[in-house]
Copies of this chain bind each other. A is one copy, B any other.
């Protein structure tokens, strides 16, 4: 039923095609990097002529920028799990769950983000300096409060955050390596659960919250 070429309304057309292009772009950028990706390939994946991409997105960089920003939005939403938690077990535990789920559901976006930062964040440097910095400082304050309240050991909040980011993101960015070491097969539901539990157990135990 979705394949039937039912006529789309004007407003739908734009939304639908942008979505199509952004989805294809995320995939191609993740697989080839910004430099290695070509508009032609993105067009092919999206099933549209190349000129059509340029109708919706003026340049390759515009398209890339949009992809990166969309991913950042997803991450910020996951970050909310940190708030309103009574203590580290709930807050950090939920955050790990949320970020692991993102690694599982949006591995391509994760890779695009990693690639962007690795190359010096040419496109989203302003985001790092504003939104991300603010968010980080806020979370550091929360963790520090938990420490002061005796709910966890006095670890350096900053490095704890880095460890959370690194570990959860690893399952997306290095998914191929993990898969190779898993006999070439993607992690099963059971294995994903084991991964989440392992991460949560080690970290929450490591910070003396359990």
Q: Which of A6-14, A73-81, A155-163 contacts B (4 or more CB under 8 A)?
A: A155-163
Q: Count A interface residues, CB 8 Å.
A: 55
Q: Is B31 a contact partner of A155 (Cβ separation < 8 A)?
A: no
Q: Is B119 a contact partner of A202 (Cβ separation < 8 A)?
A: no
> Which chain B residue shows the least CB distance to A110?
B118
Taking the full assembly, how many copies of this chain does it contain? 2
Chief secondary structure at chain A's binding surface: helix
A75 CB to nearest chain B CB (Å): 12
Which residues of chain A (6-57) have a CB below 8 Å from chain B?
30-37
Complexed CA–CA distance, A177 and B127 (Å): 11
Complexed CA–CA distance, A169 and B194 (Å): 22
Q: Is A118 a contact partner of B174 (Cβ separation < 8 A)?
A: yes
| A120, A155, A159 pick with most chain B CB within 10 angstroms | A159
Q: Is A202 a contact partner of B198 (Cβ separation < 8 A)?
A: no
Complexed CA–CA distance, A208 and B198 (Å): 13
Q: Is A159 a contact partner of B114 (Cβ separation < 8 A)?
A: no
User: 6 additional contacts, CB 8 Å, given A31-B119, A163-B199?
Assistant: A33-B35, A118-B174, A121-B176, A153-B205, A160-B198, A206-B206
